[in-house]
Chain A
Amino acid sequence: MAFILKINKLLISPKTIISLIILTLLTCAIGFFVPQITDKSPSFFETWQEQNIYTYRFVTRLQLHQVYTSYWFLALVCLIAISLLSSIYAQIKKNLKYRLQCGIQNTEYRTQNIERIRNTLHKKRYREQGFTNDEDKLIFTKNSINRWGSVIFHAGLLLVVISAILVLSFRSRGFVQLIEGDTFDGKESGFIVKSRGALAGEYNAGFYTFLSKLDHTYWETGKLKHLESSLTIVENKEQADKKVSINNPLFIKGSNIYQSDDYGYTLSFVLKKLTGEEVVSHFNIDRASNVRKHAVGKTDYPLSPYIVEIKFLPDLEKKSFYLNKPIVYLNVSEGLRKVFSGLVIPGDTVKIKDTILHFTGVRYWSGLIFVKNPGMTIAYIGFVIVIIGLVIMFLLPYKEIHLSFDPVTKAYNIAGKTKKYEAIFNEELDEIRVEIEKEIGS
């Protein structure tokens, strides 16, 4: 028990708190200055390793190239959480014990002047607390809630830290390219890119998502203005039509569906072999960065020896991103040898050696992000509590005014104390004294 108390005392000591803040600051600085695996390609790290093996080893062994998912950063976050918890507990204990040593009523003080002073202070939102136990001073206080500000702020911060740990542990997230007219079964195997927290199970939305339409609009300059997917959510023979657009996610059955700004075109082909076998293939290519450029793609044609290279224009006539007059410049090669090169439009059929390639059509695909994030509600609650705590801490400083009366000199004495902005409070006290002097004329 004594050991736990000692640890607790250490965790809430000012030096520990300052050290934790500085360590977090240093971590962020490392994350900014040392190249991170999330920002750089694997080839960057391979080159680095070749050029400076010792620095690379140092960085990788300390996980400085992945600070925010490193074990030591996780340990630091846990330490911060424990320190916050200990600090909150200590402050609550202190606040509950705190009693203003006053409350006695003294009728001798019910003079006309005292009433005037009282009114002046009431107008300034000071609350009368009664006399001190030695009946010497009348106490007025303002913003008594202030002593809870720090507790509230740190409790909110603790919730945000807990939510971050939950997110790191249990969040699952994946990106899917859903083609118009196709359905995503909601399972992780359908994701092109995915990430999963250390303790998260395999993602399963528990419903099917059908993309009926992708709407996209642009500014005059060709910059994307709005992107919206019309979806049908199907679960247990029940279906509901929903829309999801950038900045307007869809929350459904524990999953969030986000509209990514990635989208493009799906070009469908059928390759007929001499044997009569048909190989259907859909090539997803990204939208070009501007209307004058081709959307490009290069891939192996499945179950064939061919490599297909595509240059695609969605609207040959008006040069827009809409599928008005789509046309493809198609290059097919077998190994290094080119076997076909030419322009094709939807419905065209071309003969390539002993096979026939049929360009069946073009549709849009929409990039959708599916996320299960159990920590978000806690984070949002934490955010609100943090702000409430800060407002109480810094905008509502605790103030105490002590009023005493000297029966011999018949003089009133006004003193006060505060824990924040003391010098400003002293100026306020001077103003109060002047105001009261005017009121009572002494």
Chain B
Amino acid sequence: MDNLQLLKYEVILHWIAVSIYVISTVFFAYSVSFKKTSPLNSGVIAAVIGLIPHAIAIAIRWNVSGHGPYMSKYEVLTSHSWVAIVMFLLIAWKIPKLKAAGVVILPLSFLMMTIGLFTNPDISLLGPTLSGVWLVIHVIFNKLSAGGIIIALASSVLYLLKNKNEQKEFYQKLPSLEVLDAYSYKFIGFAFIFWTITVVAGSIWANQAWGRYWGWDPIETWSIITWLLFGLYLHLRHFFKWKGIKAAWLLIVCFLSAIMSLYFIPFIIDTLHSSYFM
């Protein structure tokens, strides 16, 4: 089978995955909207099924392009959503009470994939700077931090929803407000570690490639802004015992900043990173 044919299948598989994630989202949305717990399991099962064509599609593209999924909007968005869903499923398996977080993670993931599918799917060729172990570490932890932030956001959204509807039966089946708040804190802790490793690996890689580890490129500036916002969130929790609604809203601000760093800046401003994403 030639590469063109394989890439055609890859796009079809991506659309199949998107469709299944939409079904999964419907289950989660139905569950949260109508305060029913039984559709949660169906939502999780649909997400697991969707992950299969999604993984095959990414693998096909990886095989054809000869490099990991990090060279265009299409590849970045699809791989980020795959990692976020895998992380969500692992958490749903370990902490079943957090299954409802799918109502945030699944729609975000399929939206990211769909945006990616409407961008140019051409395979970008690797430039000479795009090699080495630091690139691999930078990319892997970038995806993990994106997943971690999305999951932390989902915990905070569940917190805010439960806080508003605490008396309703469905929300009583979720973890307590204190536990949801603690999970947001924990997931941000994870994301903060991953984000730091991403920035550190990127710095070392930049030093290898260009002879400087920090250059205040717009992406670098936004990644440090996001890192500082995470730092602010963690310090406010530690020193001033911020929790609950205040902490949840600050986490949403952190999430928006991360979105700016990960997607908007490299896609709209001409930076060192945009040449890899465009």
Q: Which residues of A contact B (CB under 8 A)?
A: 14, 17-18, 21-22, 24-25, 28-29, 31-32, 36, 38, 68, 164, 173, 219, 221, 223-227, 245-249, 256, 258, 261, 369, 371, 373, 376, 379-380, 383, 386-387, 390-391, 393-395, 420-424, 426-427
* A247-B129 contact given A390-B193, A422-B182, CB 8 Å threshold: yes
Please, could you name 14 A-B residue pairs with CB atoms under 8 Å apart, sorted by A?
Answer: A18-B232, A22-B232, A28-B228, A32-B225, A219-B125, A224-B127, A224-B128, A225-B125, A258-B210, A379-B203, A390-B196, A394-B189, A395-B189, A422-B178
Chain A residues whose CB sits within 8 angstroms of the CB of B131 once the complex forms: 247
The answer to whether B204 has its CB under 8 Å from any CB of chain A is yes
Q: Is the CB of B208 within 8 A of A249?
A: yes
Majority DSSP secondary structure for residues of B touching A: helix
A219 to B125, CA, bound (A): 7
* A221-B197 contact given A28-B221, A379-B213, A424-B186, CB 8 Å threshold: no
A256 to B209, CA, bound (A): 11
Chain A residues whose CB sits within 8 angstroms of the CB of B178 once the complex forms: 422-423, 426
Beyond A32-B221, A68-B216, 9 extra complex contacts between A and B, CB < 8 Å: A25-B225, A25-B232, A225-B125, A247-B131, A261-B129, A383-B203, A386-B200, A394-B186, A423-B179
A371 to B206, CA, bound (A): 14
A38 to B192, CA, bound (A): 30
Closest 5 CB pairs of A and B: A394-B189, A14-B239, A423-B178, A246-B128, A423-B182
A244 shortest CB reach to chain B, Å: 11
Q: Is the CB of A424 within 8 A of B179?
A: yes
Chain A residues whose CB sits within 8 angstroms of the CB of B192 once the complex forms: 390, 394
Chain A residues whose CB sits within 8 angstroms of the CB of B235 once the complex forms: 14, 17-18, 21
Chain B residues whose CB sits within 8 angstroms of the CB of A31 once the complex forms: 216, 221
B128: contacting residue among A14, A261, A395, A426, CB under 8 A = A261
A24: contacting residue among B189, B218, B228, B236, CB under 8 A = B228
A77 shortest CB reach to chain B, Å: 12
Count of A-B contacts judged by CB separation below 8 Å = 122
The answer to whether B91 has its CB under 8 Å from any CB of chain A is no
Q: Is the CB of A421 within 8 A of B239?
A: no
Q: Is the CB of A247 within 8 A of B209?
A: yes
Q: Is the CB of A25 within 8 A of B183?
A: no
Bin the interface of chain B by size: 35 or more
Closest B residue, CB atoms, query A227: B128
B182: contacting residue among A246, A248, A424, CB under 8 A = A424
Closest B residue, CB atoms, query A425: B182
Q: Is the CB of B211 within 8 A of A173?
A: yes
Q: Using an 8 Å CB-CB cutoff, how does the interface string of B211-244 with A read, 1 for contact, 0 for none? A: 1111010100110110011011001100110000
B125 shortest CB reach to chain A, Å: 4
A321 shortest CB reach to chain B, Å: 14
Closest B residue, CB atoms, query A15: B239
Q: Is the CB of A427 within 8 A of B179?
A: yes
A135 to B232, CA, bound (A): 42
The answer to whether B181 has its CB under 8 Å from any CB of chain A is yes
Q: Is the CB of B128 within 8 A of A225?
A: yes
* A420-B185 contact given A224-B127, A386-B200, CB 8 Å threshold: yes
The answer to whether B176 has its CB under 8 Å from any CB of chain A is yes
Chain A residues whose CB sits within 8 angstroms of the CB of B207 once the complex forms: 376
Q: Is the CB of A247 within 8 A of B186?
A: no
Chain A residues whose CB sits within 8 angstroms of the CB of B205 once the complex forms: 247
Q: Is the CB of B127 within 8 A of A223?
A: yes
* A369-B211 contact given A224-B128, A227-B128, CB 8 Å threshold: yes
The answer to whether B190 has its CB under 8 Å from any CB of chain A is yes
A79 to B189, CA, bound (A): 26
Closest B residue, CB atoms, query A68: B216
A393: contacting residue among B127, B189, B200, CB under 8 A = B189
A29 to B222, CA, bound (A): 8
Chain B residues whose CB sits within 8 angstroms of the CB of A371 once the complex forms: 211-212
Q: Is the CB of A387 within 8 A of B196?
A: yes
Q: Using an 8 Å CB-CB cutoff, how does the interface string of B127-148 with A read, 1 for contact, 0 for none? A: 1110110000000000000000
B151 shortest CB reach to chain A, Å: 14
Q: Is the CB of B200 within 8 A of A387?
A: yes
A15 shortest CB reach to chain B, Å: 8
A173 to B207, CA, bound (A): 13
A394 to B231, CA, bound (A): 13
Q: Is the CB of B125 within 8 A of A223?
A: yes
A172 shortest CB reach to chain B, Å: 11
Q: Is the CB of A249 within 8 A of B216?
A: no
Q: Is the CB of A17 within 8 A of B239?
A: yes
Q: Is the CB of A424 within 8 A of B204?
A: no
Chain B residues whose CB sits within 8 angstroms of the CB of A427 once the complex forms: 179
Chain A residues whose CB sits within 8 angstroms of the CB of B225 once the complex forms: 25, 28-29, 32
A364 to B77, CA, bound (A): 40
Q: Is the CB of B190 within 8 A of A387?
A: no
B185: contacting residue among A36, A376, A421, CB under 8 A = A421
Chain A residues whose CB sits within 8 angstroms of the CB of B204 once the complex forms: 380, 383
Chain B residues whose CB sits within 8 angstroms of the CB of A393 once the complex forms: 189
* A249-B211 contact given A227-B128, A390-B192, A394-B193, CB 8 Å threshold: yes
* A421-B186 contact given A225-B125, A383-B200, CB 8 Å threshold: yes
